[in-house]
Amino acid sequence: MMNYQLLKRLLVGAPLPSHREKHERLSVSTALAVFAADALSSTAYATEEILLALAIPAYAIYAGFANILSIPIAIAICLLMVIVVASYKQVIKAYDQGGGTYEVSKEHLGLHASHVAGAALLIDYVLTAAVSVCAGVDALVATKWVPPHQRVEWACSFLAIITIINLRGVKESGLFFSIPAYIFIFAMVTMVVTGLVQALTGHALAPLPVNFDHGWQGLGVPANIQDLLGIGLLLAMVKAFSHGCTALTGIEAISNGVKAFKEPAADNANKTMVIMGCILGFLFIGMTILAFFHRVMPMENNTVIAQVATSVFGGGSFFYYLVQFLTMVILIFAANTSFAGFPRLTSILANDGFLPRQLMHLGDRLVFSNGIILLGLVSAGLVVLYHASTHDLIPLYAVGVFLSFTLAQAGMVKHHIHNKEGNWKYSLFINGFGAIVTAIATIILLLEKFWEGAWIVVVGIFGIMWVFRKIKCHYISVARQLILPDSPQAFSQSVIEHTVVVLVSSLHRGTLPALRYARTISSRIEAIHVELRPDLTKRLVDAWDDWGQGVPLTVLKSNYRSVIQPLMEYIEEVDDRYPDDMVTVIIPEFVTKKFWHNILHNQSSLLIKAMLAFRRNKVVTSVRYFLEE
Amino acid sequence: MMNYQLLKRLLVGAPLPSHREKHERLSVSTALAVFAADALSSTAYATEEILLALAIPAYAIYAGFANILSIPIAIAICLLMVIVVASYKQVIKAYDQGGGTYEVSKEHLGLHASHVAGAALLIDYVLTAAVSVCAGVDALVATKWVPPHQRVEWACSFLAIITIINLRGVKESGLFFSIPAYIFIFAMVTMVVTGLVQALTGHALAPLPVNFDHGWQGLGVPANIQDLLGIGLLLAMVKAFSHGCTALTGIEAISNGVKAFKEPAADNANKTMVIMGCILGFLFIGMTILAFFHRVMPMENNTVIAQVATSVFGGGSFFYYLVQFLTMVILIFAANTSFAGFPRLTSILANDGFLPRQLMHLGDRLVFSNGIILLGLVSAGLVVLYHASTHDLIPLYAVGVFLSFTLAQAGMVKHHIHNKEGNWKYSLFINGFGAIVTAIATIILLLEKFWEGAWIVVVGIFGIMWVFRKIKCHYISVARQLILPDSPQAFSQSVIEHTVVVLVSSLHRGTLPALRYARTISSRIEAIHVELRPDLTKRLVDAWDDWGQGVPLTVLKSNYRSVIQPLMEYIEEVDDRYPDDMVTVIIPEFVTKKFWHNILHNQSSLLIKAMLAFRRNKVVTSVRYFLEE
């Protein structure tokens, strides 16, 4: 017991008193690192995702066409981000106790919509955690430092580390994660600025001349195939757009976790969200432009970010390796955003009675410890189930968060129509437009990935909604059953008769205090012994006159060499003997000095307690005798 | 709880009453199948092992020389078997309560030697179980029905099946395993007899002319190299001999399990052992002669048994497939011999206080259930640890059983010198010779395999001996501490004062019976509430006057949002208030209708109980309130 406490202290730290809660909250700079990790990590691959989607159809038209198209798509995604940020600014303002999408949908779209949002977000947080560490391990495997068959072990170890750091408290984990996050931001900004300056001062390749005649028409393909290509390209652009959108997870996490911020919490949350949006937008568009300047396309063994770093800093330079290393670190740490969002959401859901109550309370270190542990376990389970394969997990990803974006914006649309505050028509337009765009993105993501795994998310959402419902029903039923009766008199007057039964396996020092204790709590006492070996029983009966303290001894026969069955039958018989009474079963136990020594002794008392726990009007009492050695 | 019982009944069957024990014992024919499985399975590979050891040095002299040499070696092994059987016949006669080697060494060679024997046998039983299923799975993989990466899963599944069948009782498992064992014996005898008849009637290849001039001298190698070859050949023969000896495990198991036989137990055990020896000897020598007639040598993808079956019955015949299939089955079922020996040995060791007491008793089905489960778990653990690789497990194998053979025979030597019964000088010679031969075989096995893994067995034996010692010390210490004091008076006169503390988290229907119960067992009662949420505490205090049944309520503050710490401090304070008293802590609990519903409720009562279990003079009592829905 003491060793467990010590280990807990070492891993997690000493408990924090409740009044420290205000001091544990995050400043804007730390919060940025916690909530932006996921969004920042996406700058490492969002450009690549767009170029990958465009590569084949665009190449058919013109070699550098994918790079050209990627820029407007990146801009469009950033515009969507602006809309989402603007919309969540209003969510945060309206729901400054946190809860984000879930609270918005609960108020404006009803219980079912809020359950869809809650379930979708829970799934997406778990997936974000799992996908992030797996992608980080992918990068680690690519360096050849880690053999591929150890992927699951490494991914689970990273999850364990992130879980423990989060259990240490909000502030401590924020500080831990902010260092690599800020170095990453610094390195990426340096790369983008340097690259852009190089390009503008003519040190990079000149941008390709945009000449549609060379490609589109000049290829000489017949008109109907050109049309088909046009449709293919359009679909590819839509796909590129929806893939690029995965960068937006962090925004929802901020709206969820307003209470993690220093006061004024809502203002600080908004500030963090806007700064995060600016950094993300700058890096994302900057990376896409640099990729365009250097005609970078994704290659099998070379990521877009590595190629850009090579072009800007040179292949073997310090900055090249720094960018590579930080990309790996930030991919793993992106999981931390889930650890900021998930436990807060489960706490809100538990508070509403839709999840087990244990998820509701702050733990020793003023974080929702149970939620953090739950996220760690579930995401590790997912990693094991999917053999840490990023490829298999990706199709499940992002559907949930887009569903929640759509619901949040739809909720805000109703909010504006209902409240008509300030410049509400303008806000209504923003949120309405955002709702339509995110709804389209959701549908595209769902359709595109449905049979690859997104159907699991749909089933999962319905499954979790069913669990929410079942849990709520249970709590309502328990509360109804436990409500106090109308009058206190009935209870305070009636007196319980009770019979005490002492189980005696043999006469030893541990039996005597149990008998003595039994005598103090009732005058109706019986000692019971189950005969397993007749020689031992005889010895007990012979000694009973001297040692039995006047308590009558009953010997029960056992046909099946089991203590349990005859005991249970006899206890039921005693219970039947007197109506309206209780039977107190006293079990003498001795406690060994060392905890693990107990495995050397018969644990039938545990079994007896477990069996009696399900019988009415039985009270089980252990009277312990402590061994000194 | 009920579901668990139902599952247990389905898997294991209804409990058997103690008086059925005699009926559960084995007849000679069933016992043969149980104890001979391991020995029989060795006829499937013993000839192959000998030929493998001889192949290279013998081939240097003469192409068919390995086959010629294998016959005297097989005969020598059978002679050793006769000696071991003769020796164990005397062991069984002298120790008709079972225990075999362990009991012999305990009486004649002292405690340490008996511990060596016990530890060595425990290890070897576990290894026999693990190696057998792995070898069976190897054969299954060779058929291509099972992909290689599922080896561990299959091996563990077979172990699970064998464990469950053994838990069903001695007789039932005997019947189950006897069918394939007898079909195997029938098929093998048919093969050997058919093959020998064919050979003698001239339908097989004629035996090779034994002409040493052709080989030994005729090769024209210089004399000193001939000498070297001679030494190499000698070493190879010794190695072949010791490898072939692995067939003898089952003999020790019979001497161990005399009590499993129908009365007269010792006679029946002896009869079984002799019959087993005859079958084993006949099949082993027969197989070796057939291999000689057909000039069979082990090949990479074709076992000796398969080649012999091809030669005798033809490659695609029914009997060929029958022999192949039964070989696979018997290899897996060979594990069953361990399940007959291991639990009996652990029960004897537990009875002497060297292993946990739980291993001592017969379970529901009149078998040593805990020992069976332990063997299943440990051997499955070994299979997982060694990735079900027969190749890696084999070096650990057989050292233990030969060590125990040596100890048994050495013990019998002392027995004869001491008792001088009947024709004791003749017996002394047999056992003395047997002791020397088995000691040499032990040393050869140990030296040959030491660095390949046999060192683990040596370390394991010392480790297990240390555990035996530690467990015995613990039991002695506990017995000394629990011994009754000199006079009963001291105990029966003193009266315990006790204070009752009722923990109240909130006022509900479950709290009321606990308060009522507290009032019946003592007049010194306090109710304690730990404040977690001031609003709820206020509500409790307001309602207390009406519902508190006159019990004073104390509210404790908690700085760390934990119930445990303030509670423990307060209980210690109550305990200090009155010297020489006990504190009874009453915890009101409600029990949900469905077991798993409990995960939806705070389990802090479990934690409180666990914390109090290690404090003196505290008695913990749960008063349960049962929910109806």
Nearest to A590 among B363, B482, B624 (CB): B482
What is the rounded average pLDDT of the residues A245-255? 77
- Residue A189 pLDDT: 92
pLDDT for residue A2: 53
What are the φ and ψ backbone dihedral angles of A63, each rounded to 5 degrees? -55, -45
Which pLDDT does position B496 carry in this prediction? 65
pLDDT-derived band of residue B471, with 50, 70 and 90 as boundaries?
Answer: very high
Which of A18, A543, A602 is nearest residue B561 as measured by Cβ atoms?
A18
Most confident residue range from A284-293, A457-466, B98-107: A457-466
Tell me the ipTM for this assembly. Answer: 0.75
Res B229: pLDDT: 62
Q: What is the pLDDT of residue B218?
A: 42
**Alpha-carbon distance values, B133 to A71, A429, B137, B327, B328 (Å):** 62, 71, 6, 12, 9
Task: Dig out the tokens for B562 from the structure.
Answer: 């934990």
- With CB atoms and an 8 Å threshold, state whether B516 touches A498: no
Long-range contacts from A473-482, C-beta under 8 angstroms, 24+ separation: A474/B592, A474/B597, A474/B600, A475/A353, A475/A357, A475/B600, A476/A353, A477/B627, A477/B629, A478/B590, A478/B592, A478/B601, A478/B627, A481/B509, A481/B627, A481/B628, A481/B629, A482/B508, A482/B509, A482/B510, A482/B590, A482/B625, A482/B627
Chain A: closest CA distance from residue B515 (Å): 9
Cβ–Cβ below 8 Å for B474 and A597: yes
Pick from B17, B483, B628: which is nearest to A481 by CB? B628
pLDDT for the residue numbered B490:
60
Arithmetic mean of pLDDT, B168-192: 88
Contacts of B610 in chain A (CB under 8 A): 1
B295 Ramachandran zone, left/alpha/beta (phi>0; psi -120 to 50): left
In this prediction, what percent of chain B has a pLDDT beyond 70? 92
Range with the lowest mean pLDDT among A54-63, B135-144, B362-371?
Answer: A54-63
Close Cβ partners of A197 (under 8 Å, ≥ 6 residues apart): none
Beta-sheet pairing, A618-626 with B618-626: antiparallel
H helix runs in B245-264, sequence order: 249-256
Q: Is the pLDDT of residue B83 over 50?
A: yes
Model confidence at B409: pLDDT above 50? yes
- Contact (CB<8Å) A547/B488: yes
- Per-residue pLDDT band for B401 (boundaries 50, 70, 90) equals confident
The shortest C-alpha distance from A531 to chain B (Å) reads 12
Alpha-carbon gap: A128 to the closest alpha carbon of chain B (Å): 26
Say which of A482, A495, A624 has its CB closest to residue B613: A624
A121-130, A478-487, B334-343: range with lowest mean pLDDT: A478-487
Beta-carbon separation of A560 and B477 below 8 A: no
Across the interface, whether the CB atoms of B619 and A623 are under 8 A apart is answered yes
* Peptide linkage before A264 cis (omega within 30 of 0): yes
Greatest mean pLDDT range, A83-92, A230-239, A268-277, B560-569: A268-277
Phi and psi for B366 in degrees, rounded to 5? 60, 25
On chain B, the residues whose CB falls within 8 A of the CB of A601 are 357, 478
Instruction: Give pLDDT, residue A212.
Output: 42
DSSP, res B302? B
Contact B358/A559, CB-based, under 8 Å? no
For A515, nearest residue in chain B (alpha carbons) = B492
pTM, entire model: 0.72
Q: How far is CA B282 from CA A231, A382, B85, B269, B279, in A?
A: 81, 57, 15, 20, 5
Query: Quick check: B258 and B265 in contact, CB under 8 A?
Result: yes
Closest alpha carbon to A46 in A247, A189, A196: A247
Highest-confidence segment of A1-5, A512-516, B189-193: B189-193
In percent, the amount of chain A with pLDDT more than 90 equals: 24
Interface of A with B in 595-624 (CB under 8 A): 597, 599-603, 610-611, 613-614, 616, 618-624
Least confident of A300-304, A365-369, B569-573: A300-304
The pLDDT value recorded for residue A217 is 44
Q: Cα distance from A145 to chain B (closest Cα, Å)? A: 25
Say what the pLDDT of residue B164 is. 92
Q: What is the pLDDT of residue B391?
A: 78
Scanning B143-222, the segments in alpha helix (DSSP H) are: 151-167, 170-200, 212
What mean pLDDT do residues A189-200 have?
90
- The reported pLDDT for the residue numbered A210 is 43
Interface subset of B 183-242, CB within 8 angstroms of A: none
Contact B491/A512, CB-based, under 8 Å? yes
- Rounded to whole angstroms, what are the CA distances from B371 to A559, B245, B338? 21, 27, 11
| pLDDT attached to residue B472 | 93
Domains and CATH numbers, chain B: 23-475 (1.20.1740.10), 490-626 (3.40.50.620)
Taking an 8 Å cut-off on Cβ atoms, the answer to whether A600 and B15 are in contact is no
Contacts of A508 in chain B (CB under 8 A): 482-484
The verdict on a CB contact (< 8 Å) between B484 and A547 is: yes
Residue B473 clears pLDDT 50, i.e. is over it: yes
Q: Which residue of B has its CA nearest to A609?
A: B622
Q: Sort out which chain A residues have CB atoms less than 8 A from B611's CB and list them.
A: 1
Instruction: Locate A457 and state its tokens.
Output: 């998310």
pLDDT level of residue B241 (50, 70, 90 thresholds): confident
- Number of A/B CB contacts below 8 angstroms equals 195
Q: How confident is the model at residue A275 (pLDDT cuts 50, 70, 90)?
A: very high
pLDDT digits (tens, 9 = 90+) for A23-46: 788 888 888 888 888 888 888 778
Lowest mean pLDDT among A109-118, A562-571, A600-609, B203-212: B203-212
Mean pLDDT across the stretch A382-407?
86
CB–CB of B602 and A498 under 8 A? no
Query: What share of chain B has pLDDT > 90, as a percent?
Result: 24
Using a CB-CB distance cutoff of 8 angstroms, which residues of chain A are in contact with residue B617?
none
Min distance B372 CA to chain A CA atoms (Å): 17
Is residue B497 within 8 A of residue B579, CB to CB? The reply is: no
Chain A, 484 to 523: residues with Cβ < 8 Å from chain B are 484-485, 488, 491-492, 494-496, 498, 507-510, 512-513, 516-517, 519-522
Contacts of A545 in chain B (CB under 8 A): none
- Structure tokens, A602: 């018969």
Distance, in angstroms, between A498 CA and closest chain B CA?
A: 8
pLDDT at B159: 95
So what's the pLDDT on residue B227?
60
Q: How far apart are CA A566 and CA B255, in angstroms?
A: 36
| DSSP β-bridge partners for residue A500 | A525, A584
**Where would I find the H helices in A18-169?**
28-42, 46-61, 65-94, 100-108, 111-142, 151-167
The beta-carbon neighbor of A520 closest among B495, B515, B616 is B495
Nearest-Cα distance to chain A for B474, in Å, is 8
More confident residue, A203 or A451: A451
Please tell me the predicted confidence (pLDDT) of residue B390. Answer: 81
Question: What is the pLDDT of chain A when averaged over all its residues?
Answer: 84
pLDDT at A214: 42
Model confidence pLDDT, tens digit, residues A92-148: 888 888 888 899 899 999 999 999 999 999 998 999 999 889 988 888 887 778 888
Cα separation, B64 vs B61, whole angstroms: 9
Distance from CA of A140 to the nearest CA of B (A): 26
How confident is the model over A381-395, as a mean pLDDT?
86
User: How confident is the model at residue B63, as a pLDDT?
Assistant: 61
Q: What is residue A221's predicted lDDT score, i.e. its pLDDT?
A: 46
A547 and B491 within 8 Å at the Cβ level: the answer is yes
The torsion defined by the Cα of A426, A428, A433 and A434, in degrees rounded to 10, comes to 110
For position B145, what pLDDT does the model report? 80
Task: Name the E strands within B400-485.
Answer: none
CA–CA–CA angle B391, B397, B400 (5° rounding): 165
Tokens of A453: 């795994």
B475 touches chain A (CB under 8 A): yes
Q: What is the pLDDT of residues B322-337, one digit of tens each?
A: 888 888 888 888 888 8
Q: Is the pLDDT of residue A403 over 50?
A: yes
The residue type at A573 = E
The pLDDT score that the predictor gives to residue B352 is 93
Give the pLDDT band of residue B209 (cuts 50, 70, 90): very low
**Which chain B residue lies closest to A603 (C-alpha atoms)?**
B358
Give yes or no for residue B219 having a pLDDT over 50.
Answer: no
What's the confidence (pLDDT) of residue B547?
85
Best A478, A523, A599 member to test B by mutation, with max B CBs in 10 Å, is A478
B212 has pLDDT over 50: no
CA A34 to CA A173: how far, in whole Å? Answer: 8
Residue A556 DSSP SS3 = strand
Alpha-carbon torsion B244, B248, B249, B252, what sign? negative
- Report how many helices (DSSP H) and strands (DSSP E) chain A contains, helices first: 25, 5
Rounded to a whole number, what is the largest CA-CA distance in chain B?
114
